[in-house]
Amino acid sequence: MTEMFEGSFTQQEPIPEAGIAAAERVLRSGRLHRYNTAPGETSEAELLEAEFARAIGLDHALAVASGGQAMIIALRAVGVQPGDRVLTNAFTLAPVPGAIAAVGATPVYLGVTEGLALDLDDLAAKADRGSVLLLSHMRGHLCDMDRLMAICAAAGIMVVEDCAHTMGAAWNGRASGTFGAVACFSTQTYKHLNSGEGGFIATDDAALAARAILMSGSYMFHQRHGQAPAVEVFDELTYVTPNQSARMDNLRAAILRPQLANLPRQCARWTERYRAVEAEIAGTPGLQVIDRPAAEDFVGSSIQFLLPGWDAQKIEAVLARCAARGVELKWFGGAQPTGFTSRYDDWRYAQAEPLPDTDRILRGLLDMRLPLTFSLADCALIGRIIRAEVAAVYQQG
């Protein structure tokens, strides 16, 4: 009998009961706006920011409306101006170059390695093309952060980390998001915390934090941010910083706080599922698993593999055969962008120079979500299906 997978690749776990109860309290109060508090009350958003700052180990955290807004505000806060060039990954998702375009700047794309990390040789070669790097840890793959920071320090490049896929991850024991000047996180449904939409900005830089708080729309209530810098830091910024109305509300903050408390356990569960799939597909003829460096403590909320050198027709056959058995794979090499698989050459608002090595890698790149609603047995089954269908197409020659 042919094995079939019948689960959903988009079904997330329910919000914890503690989060539901907290959300109900917020709803019954009617005080959803983060600055609408009763006397003596600390808002859910302020409590969440304090807890997130402690969890990541940085001085200041700001809860905002989305991960995309976090990047836009962070780029403006570090001084990116219209007409500037910003270095960034060619292998990323559309909100990353979108954030660069939103501030009037132009992305300069950097290549990807077969380990799906930023190509540091390409960074070194293009280090004179921009003074800011928006570093996307795409799909949870961390590059050698020690070498990256050395390259950037030598070239005077400021690093903004996009940690949408690496909340809870680390490099050599140091948390993702604590290397650059500022870090951006997402709490969109398919990320490591789920509030539908939402995000964080985190930094140790007091002036940068003050600019971000004002840009998010503090309406002079910056004293209500427990993780804000001292009041005097705001003095010279208050009247020259535009309000972007990008605050997170108390309802989303309420459902995030219990999830944040449980994040380490959830990260471990994701990586267990990653390893279960990886164990099944490793050694499949024609399939290349992604090497994960020993220094990388990753969170396996998705898994990627390569079909190197395969032509489009054969990859499409694998996609169709897996889909027929209930396994949804995404392909970054398709002729047209589909869902979340757009590439740097699809974003036509910014001219991109060819990246032949990156193109070669993306042509064979397949990607799959691993929601925590999957059991380890589910993941093993999925891995067996992928192995069988890849092998079947490969053997056809």
Choose among 272, 291, 298, 308: nearest CA to 383. Answer: 272
Q: Are residues 291 and 240 in the same domain?
A: no
pLDDT digits (tens, 9 = 90+) for 10-34: 999 999 999 999 999 999 999 999 9
Residue where a domain terminates, one of 207, 237, 261: 261
Q: Cα 84 to the chain's mean position, in Å?
A: 23
**So what's the pLDDT on residue 106?**
97
Q: Are residues 276 and 343 in the same domain?
A: yes
5 within domain boundaries? no
**So what's the pLDDT on residue 269?**
98
11 within domain boundaries? no
What is the domain range of residue 372? Answer: 264-395
Taking the C-alpha atoms of residue 15 and residue 326, their distance in angstroms, rounded to an integer, is 26
378 within domain boundaries? yes
One-letter amino acid identity for 377?
A
Q: Are residues 237 and 275 in the same domain?
A: no
pLDDT exceeds cutoff 90 at 187:
yes
Q: Are residues 86 and 218 in the same domain?
A: yes
Residue where a domain terminates, one of 198, 233, 261: 261
Structural domains counted in the chain: 2
Q: Which residues pair with 63 in a beta bridge?
A: 200
7 within domain boundaries? no
pLDDT digits (tens, 9 = 90+) for 366-376: 999 999 999 99
One-letter amino acid identity for 338?
T
369 within domain boundaries? yes
Considering the entire predicted model, what is its pTM? 0.96
Q: Are residues 215 and 334 in the same domain?
A: no
99 within domain boundaries? yes
Q: Are residues 166 and 269 in the same domain?
A: no
Residue where a domain terminates, one of 261, 295, 328: 261
Q: Are residues 155 and 231 in the same domain?
A: yes
Q: Are residues 73 and 196 in the same domain?
A: yes
Residues 6+ apart with CB under 8 A from 88: 96, 97, 100, 107, 108, 109, 110, 133, 134, 135, 136
The CATH number covering residue 166 comes to 3.40.640.10
Q: Are residues 280 and 257 in the same domain?
A: no
Q: Are residues 251 and 286 in the same domain?
A: no
pLDDT digits (tens, 9 = 90+) for 29-56: 999 999 999 999 999 999 999 999 999 9
Question: Is the Cα dihedral 79, 84, 85, 89 positive or negative?
Answer: positive
- Strand 302-306 to strand 365-369: parallel, antiparallel, or no bridges (unpaired)? antiparallel
Q: Are residues 373 and 361 in the same domain?
A: yes
- DSSP assignment, residue 350? S
The CATH number covering residue 385 comes to 3.90.1150.10
- What is the band of 239 on the pLDDT scale with cuts at 50, 70, 90? confident
Taking the C-alpha atoms of residue 46 and residue 250, their distance in angstroms, rounded to an integer, is 9
Q: Are residues 252 and 292 in the same domain?
A: no
Mean pLDDT of the region 161-183: 98
pLDDT exceeds cutoff 80 at 396:
yes
